[in-house]
Homo-oligomer: A and B are copies of this chain.
Amino acid sequence: MTASTESSAPGSTARTRVRRLPELAAQDRATLHAVLDDALVATVAVVDDGQPYALPVACARDGERLLLHGSTGSRLFRLLAAGVPACVTVTLVDGLVLARSAFESSMNYRSVMVLGSSAVVDEADKQAAMRRLTEHLMPGRWSQLRPPTRKELAATRVVAMPLAECSVKVSSGDPQDPDEDLDAPVWAGVVPVEHSWGEPLASADLRFDAEPPAYVRGWRHGRT
């Protein structure tokens, strides 16, 4: 295992160029897509009256845009719909890196930062976007559910953030201790953080005997 050494970023601009540890910025769009596809939640930051606010929001990549949805009554989504400058950040923690010093100790992670303004997904496309969100978060689920009602569609805001101006950072592999620390009598390595799906818990108000759906068993591990 070695730390990844990619050095640029897809859609890189002066604002998104990775300033610190540029050797960790991943080059390829495939990495960008893969990180987003492992994410259930993004943290979305906007500015209101000079104060930044960062809130967790469910997300789903749809080609070269990232879909976000929330209530039409949400302040965050009102701001996003108005096209204010936004930053959408996804972070997946993969492990703790135990080096021979506190200074070199770190984490392995994958992160994406997308800058820009989101656009409202219009009514004609809203249901398809909701399907994409549901199928990203809960693959196999959409076809089991009744379609959204007109009232539900009206209460939901869906916005799309273009994957235009973004950076990707991937840190993986062993600690990078300087030579003079290598004889320290201390274990060094990585303790992985693992994400998995637990046993499905039936709702107390389930009105019939049913096994948890088979498609849940097929869900990919490692998403968070």
User: Which A residues form the contact surface with B (CB < 8 A)?
Assistant: 1, 15, 19-20, 40-41, 43-47, 50-56, 58, 70-71, 73-75, 85-89, 91, 93, 95-96, 98, 100-103, 105-107, 109, 111, 113, 115, 130-131, 133-134, 137-138, 141-142, 144-146, 148-149, 152, 155-156, 174-175, 177, 181-208, 210-213, 216, 219, 223-224
When distances are taken between beta carbons in the complex, the residues of chain B under 8 Å from A190 are: 200-201, 203
Which residues of B lie under 8 Å from residue A198 when comparing CB positions? 95, 191-194
- Is the beta-carbon distance between B210 and A187 smaller than 8 angstroms? yes
B137 touches A96 (CB 8 A): yes
Tell me whether A195 and B175 are in contact (CB under 8 A). Answer: no
Counting every copy of the chain, the complex holds 2
Q: How far is the CA of A149 from the CA of B202 in the complex (A)?
A: 54
Query: In the complex, which residues of chain B have a beta carbon less than 8 angstroms from the beta carbon of A113?
Result: 53-55
Contacts of A87 in B (CB 8 A): 45, 51-54
Q: Which of B40, B103, B187, B189 contacts A148 (CB 8 A)?
A: B103
> With A174-B204, A224-B195 in contact, do A52 and B56 touch (Cβ < 8 Å)?
no
Residue of B nearest to A84 (CB): B52
- Cβ A189 vs Cβ B206 within 8 A: yes
CB A96 to nearest CB in B, in angstroms, measures 6
Contact B186 A145 (CB under 8 A): yes
Further contacts, 13 of them, CB under 8 A, given A174-B203, A187-B210, A192-B201: A19-B73, A19-B74, A41-B107, A43-B43, A47-B50, A51-B115, A98-B141, A101-B148, A105-B134, A144-B187, A187-B200, A191-B198, A193-B198
